[in-house]
Amino acid sequence: MRYLVVGLGNIGRRRQALLGERCVATIDPFSNSADHATPDECPDHRYDAAVLAVPNGTKLGLVEYFLARGKHVLVEKPLLFGDLQTAERLAALAAERGAACYTSYNHRFEPLIERMRSRLKAGAVGKLYRGRFFYGNGTVRHVAGSWREQGLGVVEDLGSHLLDLAAYLLDCRGDRFVPWSLGRHESTNFDHAVLASEDGRLVLEMSYLSWKNTFSIDLLGELGSLHVWGLPKWGAAQFVERRRVLPSGAPIETVQSAQPGVDVTWERDLAQFEAHVGRGETSFDNDYWISSTLQGVVGVAA
């Protein structure tokens, strides 16, 4: 499959490098190294799919542009819908033109997260009591003044990843999440936030103010607990399973480590996109749920 990469920022260049010769052209009105400034400068017959690594506010227009031409679309997260009608209209357009659209949430494909999901499906924790997700970095000074400072800031950026992971691991898509804390410290928009499910069982915390890169998922249940600490792209990362000992006592612990510095998620994510293409699917249901959750945050913030 031949690809067009739209947007040559950090993520767009990563996609370009991963695709290699499969990337036949690049689009970016602000980059001298791009092949074209706009998509209509590139003939449709040259490519089969477009990768959108662009600011959030431009994504929907580009998705419609490419779907209308029968091109498959891989969108860097998040893809935000203002209303259900827009999602349904684009889904109908994709079906009519035989095109797929997939929004990339690459952390699904972390080996340790896949291991956690496998153990959850095997019933390792039994009834889930509580879950806590944390994703933080210290990029607030890079975000301030950039396009990422628009919208909901860290809630759109890192929070969308956590919502996707909660749904992927715990099948809670459709549940309502509400903000417990929305902070503006060094940015005009949110640079630290906490969201929670309405029953308080699931807590998602995201931050641009975590001066050491931090990622963790902790799931506690009746039979034990599952934990992911760290991401391989940053260094040491572990999956820990603790099996409860009754009536009490030190749990039986199993530890699995990931190879530091090795990030396999981008290749696996691309393979997932191409599987969507083969099935003619979109990920709009997931996108709309995340969008409506974020709209709820907007309402509270207002």
**pLDDT in single tens digits along all 302 residues of the chain:** 999 999 999 999 999 999 999 999 999 999 999 999 999 999 999 999 999 999 999 999 999 999 999 999 999 999 999 999 999 999 999 999 999 999 999 999 999 999 999 999 999 999 999 999 999 999 999 888 887 777 899 999 999 999 999 999 999 999 999 999 999 999 999 999 999 999 999 999 999 999 999 999 999 999 999 999 999 999 999 999 999 999 999 999 999 999 999 999 999 999 999 999 999 999 999 999 999 999 888 777 66
Domain CATH for 174 = 3.30.360.10
- Is residue 44 domain-resident? yes
* Same-domain pairing of 236 and 121: yes
* Same-domain pairing of 224 and 251: yes
- Is residue 189 domain-resident? yes
**What token pair was written down for 136?**
């933080």
* Same-domain pairing of 44 and 136: no
- Is residue 301 domain-resident? no
- Is residue 302 domain-resident? no
- Is residue 47 domain-resident? yes
* Same-domain pairing of 12 and 140: no
- Is residue 80 domain-resident? yes
**What token pair was written down for 14?**
């990563």
Q: What is the DSSP string of 126-157?
A: -SEEEEEEEEE-S-HHHHTTSGGGSTTTHIII
**What token pair was written down for 292?**
């409506």
* Same-domain pairing of 285 and 168: no
For residue 208, the 8-state DSSP code is S
Q: Report d(CA 205, CA 168) in Å as an integer.
A: 17
> Which pLDDT score, from 0 to 100, does residue 146 have?
81
Task: Tally the domains of the chain.
Answer: 2
* Same-domain pairing of 149 and 190: yes
- Is residue 98 domain-resident? yes
* Same-domain pairing of 129 and 173: yes
* Same-domain pairing of 241 and 291: no
Residues 6+ away with beta carbon under 8 Å from 121 = none
* Same-domain pairing of 165 and 218: yes
Domain CATH for 27 = 3.40.50.720
> Which pLDDT score, from 0 to 100, does residue 143 have?
86
Q: 203: part of which helix (H) or strand (E)? A: strand 202-207
pTM here is 0.95
Q: Are 5 and 15 in contact (CB under 8 A)?
A: yes
Instruction: Give residue 188's domain range.
Output: 108-262
* Same-domain pairing of 73 and 198: no
* Same-domain pairing of 50 and 193: no
* Same-domain pairing of 40 and 185: no
- Is residue 258 domain-resident? yes
Q: Report d(CA 257, CA 264) in Å as an integer.
A: 14
